[in-house]
Chains A and B, each alone.
Chain A
């Protein structure tokens, strides 16, 4: 139990740090010296995982976030998902949710992108944010369950998979 709490806290802190870095990039860019250099590095760093198009990004203080609206929503949704675990469960130990939930979580994003490619729907900032947020929120449960199962001493994740209810 204590080990599970530790793993949960580490994952939560890492996600918080990641989300803070996304917000720090636009906040620090207007500064000078070390903070501005840090901001430039953060934009460069996150440029590896996102296109960072200005018109597809949320803005903070007039500057775009370090990643686009969809990516921001995925990461912040992931963070919120992790935060919500103790609210819905008394302890973070949890069985693996059934895999159809994972596919269902991807579906809004696939529809948003796919329909926009075929000009059947216009992907807007809010549709990107909503579909990404739903995915991030749900996938956090899978990732946390995977970490907990991996580090659980008695490694009973196969057993708990049978009781896969959510």
Chain B
């Protein structure tokens, strides 16, 4: 039986999907729903891996799905941080600015009187991003994306697992009569 295909390539594609979803402003809001973007990346990585398995190879196992999903999560954390740094450098903190304006609008609509320090703190937390923030973000993402990618991989296995024709179960032979 030929060996199973390489897991790195589908995991990398899954990681790229996770990275793009997590780094692109507004698209990354998808992750606000229990890391749906990461789950999706892990799931798709398993789909790509399954597609690369030929009929001569051993079928997709849940161990493969766990490995591919978790790897996709790790790649996703790396790619997401790199992409976020590039987007931040090119366009600035687009989502942070939008969120700051949204929050200020919300406060104004509610006619709330907030102290100036509150706005300073809000501006600091939403708009100012340093290299240290990006590094911290990478570590937090690596911790979160790996298990969520793994869970996505397992969900992918639940959906794409190979169908095996039902096996015929035979009754155990009767013991020979004692004479």
Contact = CB atoms under 8 A, between A and B. Distances in A.
Interface residues of B, number: 30
B65 interface: yes
A49 B162 contact: no
A interface SS class: helix
A85 interface: no
Consensus secondary structure, chain B interface: helix
A48 B154 contact: no
Interface string A128-165: 00000000000100110111011100010111011000
A147 B66 CA distance: 8
A97 B154 CA distance: 13
Contact of B34 (A45, A74, A147): A74
A150 B32 contact: no
Most central of A74, A97, A155, A157 by chain B CB within 10 Å? A157
B34 A146 contact: no
A155 B141 contact: no
Interface string B18-37: 00000000000101111100
Contacts of A158: 59, 61, 161-162, 164
Nearest to A97: B158
Given A99-B159, A150-B61, A143 B164 contact: no
Contacts of A147: 62, 66, 154
B155 interface: yes
Interface string B22-62: 00000001011111000000000000000000000001011
A51 interface: yes
Given A102-B159, A142-B154, A161 B144 contact: no
B105 to A, nearest CB: 15
B166 interface: yes
B63 interface: yes
A50 interface: yes
Interface in A74-94: 74
Contact of A48 (B140, B151, B161, B165): B140
A128 to B, nearest CB: 11
B167 interface: yes
Contacts of B75: none
Given A70-B34, A96-B158, 9 more contacts: A48-B31, A50-B32, A143-B155, A146-B158, A147-B66, A149-B61, A157-B161, A158-B161, A161-B164
The 10 closest A-B pairs by CB, nearest first: A146-B154, A150-B63, A51-B32, A150-B62, A149-B62, A146-B62, A142-B158, A49-B35, A162-B166, A158-B164
